[in-house]
Amino acid sequence: MSSIKTIIVEDSRLARNELKELIKQHQDIEVIAEAENVDEAYRKINELQPQLIFLDINMPGKDGFELLEMLDDVPLVVFTTAFDEYAIKSFEYNALDYLLKPINEKRFADAVDKVKQKLEATVAKANANNGLLNENGQIFIKEGEKCWLVKVGEIQLCEIVGNYTRVYFNGNRPLIYKSLNQVEERLPQQLFFRANRQQIINLQYIKTVDNGFSGKLIATLTTGAEVEISRRQSALFKDMLSL
């Protein structure tokens, strides 16, 4: 594996230096930038596209959770913080790991191993040229106090709710503040299908397809949800999936 491009996001210079000393013991981790606040980190992450960020949670101004909310494509995240109270909350974000300061060398090495395993298991990342997300890429979703890092391929269904979009995955159904059209533009077309004006379905989660009324189809997902495919889209659906 080539070196893992990494950004350290930490407001304390001492803490950044301590992390860099730990990283020196792992030649496959390459620190390409540092940031001492969320806005600086946001710019550098978008510019440099790191594979990994070591992210402090408690920083002046915006915190680490808010940084994740700002990003469209979220790198692998290892949280670092001196506050144990964040431990459970960080895993609600599906962070890859959580390191409590002062960071133990063995504990840090374990986190690096998790990063390597995750990257080795992940196929090609999102296509930066056309902005499409990759099935194995991650997106950040936040609703109220709950947050998730979600693998794109785990999204089962997206549907319009007013001016927002409800996203279904792993038993969760949060609202995101984007229109369904905006969501559709980012999703990989080989995996997601616009069933009708209100809904997009993940083809991998279709269990059965039955005939409905007036040339429409009814797709039943593995979750049990039934989605009506409009007459126009039914013709496209049949053509797309036929031999």
pLDDT digits (tens, 9 = 90+) for 105-143: 999 999 999 998 888 766 444 444 445 677 877 888 888
Domains of the chain, CATH where assigned: 4-121 (3.40.50.2300), 153-241 (2.40.50.1020)
Cα–Cα distances (Å) from 91 to 24, 65, 86, 118, 184, in that order, read 27, 12, 9, 16, 28
Cα-Cα-Cα-Cα torsion 117, 122, 126, 129, nearest 10 degrees, comes to 90
Rounded to whole angstroms, how far apart are CA atoms 79 and 59? 12
What are the distances in angstroms from CA 104 to CA 57, 198, 226? 18, 50, 50
Pairing assessment for the beta strands 192-194 and 175-176 based on DSSP bridges: unpaired
pLDDT for 86? 63
Question: At residue 109, what are phi and psi to the nearest 5 degrees?
Answer: -60, -40
Q: What is the pLDDT of residue 30?
A: 93
Q: In the chain, which stretches have pLDDT less than 70?
A: 1-2, 85-94, 121-132, 242-243
pLDDT computed for residue 90 by the predictor: 59
Q: 146 with 132: CB under 8 angstroms?
A: no
Cis peptide before 102 (omega within 30 of 0): yes
Q: Are strands 199-202 and 206-211 parallel, antiparallel or unpaired?
A: unpaired
pLDDT of residue 243: 43
CA angle 189-178-45, nearest 5°? 80
The span from the CA of 223 to the CA of 169, in Å, is: 10
Tokens of 172: 């969760």
Report the predicted TM-score, pTM, of the whole model to 2 decimal places.
0.53
Residue 229 amino acid letter: I
CA distance 87 to 243: 50
